[in-house]
Amino acid sequence: MTLRFDVVTLFPPIFDGLTQHGISGRAHARGLWRLHAWNPRDYTTDAHRTVDDRPYGGGPGMVMLSAPLTLAVEHARAARTPDDGAPVVLLSPTGRRFEQGMAARLAQGPGAIFVCGRYEGVDQRFIDACVTDEWSLGDFVLSGGELAAAAMMDAAVRLLPGALNDELSRVQDSFDPSLSGLLDCPHYTRPEVYAGKSVPAELLSGHHARIARWRREQSLRLTAARRPDLIQAARTAGLLDAADETFLAGL
Ligand code: 4HQ
């Protein structure tokens, strides 16, 4: 089954990078997912094709009109499999913070209709009537929802079976840093010495168990230093064993 994303956006070309380049581009070429853009400007009826207006109550900036957004979402919905349960997701800094579990569920479900606001935002009556979920990429302010939606779709698409070349590495979950609950370990490639710095001896040892232990400990060390919240979460999720705890206790 092909994952389908519909995106309501004033700037459809922003998504060309996602569909044309890299892992997501190759997955798109393989037919693993599709993206359809719907421009609210195409659903205006006035001569100037107006998509925004001044905020009631005054203040800076402009607010996106309800009617063109509603029509765009309705056309997107009508083009999808009826009642497929796809959420209508508004990108907003006030939304639920996007994380890996949401990407995984997105990849396994019917997809989504993403609504990308510009300017100061969108009329609240459109949100109340049409939007089922609000998601945030993080605590920073973007110029529009497009780059947030693109990041979320990228995170989902790379999880689709067949999207990655190195599928053998996924057979064993413990090889996949995204499933360990820890930050990834450092990586090295040739040359063996660069700028006077050698690759860590463990990685040159040829001993698979020693290499795996070194990587695990680097992940634990980095996660404890930078994201102690993830150590506690991994512990609660049962992802740390006795050897991990012994190593952490010695840091
Ligand atoms: N936006 N995560 C769109 C964001 C944002 C975020 C600000 C959303 C501008 C118009 N979206 N409005 N952070 O900063 O998703």
Which pLDDT does position 44 carry in this prediction?
Answer: 98
- Residue in 98, 120, 142 to alter for ligand 1 test, most ligand atoms within 8 A of Cβ: 142
- The pocket around ligand 1, CB under 6 angstroms, is made up of 91-93, 117-118, 121, 136-138, 140-142, 144-145, 148
- Residue in 64, 94, 141, 146 to alter for ligand 1 test, most ligand atoms within 8 A of Cβ: 141
Which pLDDT does position 167 carry in this prediction?
Answer: 55
- Ranking 90-104, 154-168, 183-197, 220-234 by mean pLDDT, the lowest is 154-168
Which pLDDT does position 133 carry in this prediction?
Answer: 98
Chain segment 39-79, per-residue pLDDT in tens: 999 999 999 999 999 999 999 999 999 999 999 999 999 99
Closest atom of ligand 1 to 144 CA is: 3
3-class DSSP state of 137: coil
What is the pairing mode between strands 3-8 and 33-38? parallel
b (16+ CB within 10 A) / e for 125-156: ebbeebbeebbbbeeeebebbbbbbbbbbbbb
Please give the helix or strand (H or E) that residue 197 lies within, else none. Answer: strand 197-198
Chain segment 5-44, per-residue pLDDT in tens: 999 999 999 999 999 999 999 999 999 999 999 999 999 9
Encoded tokens for 92: 């907003």
Averaged confidence pLDDT in the chain: 96
3-class DSSP state of 224: helix
Which residue's CA is the nearest one to ligand 1's atom 7?
A: 142
Residues with catalytic annotation? 93, 120, 158, 173
- Tell me the H-state helices in 33-192: 66-79, 100-108, 124-130, 146-157, 168-171, 177-180
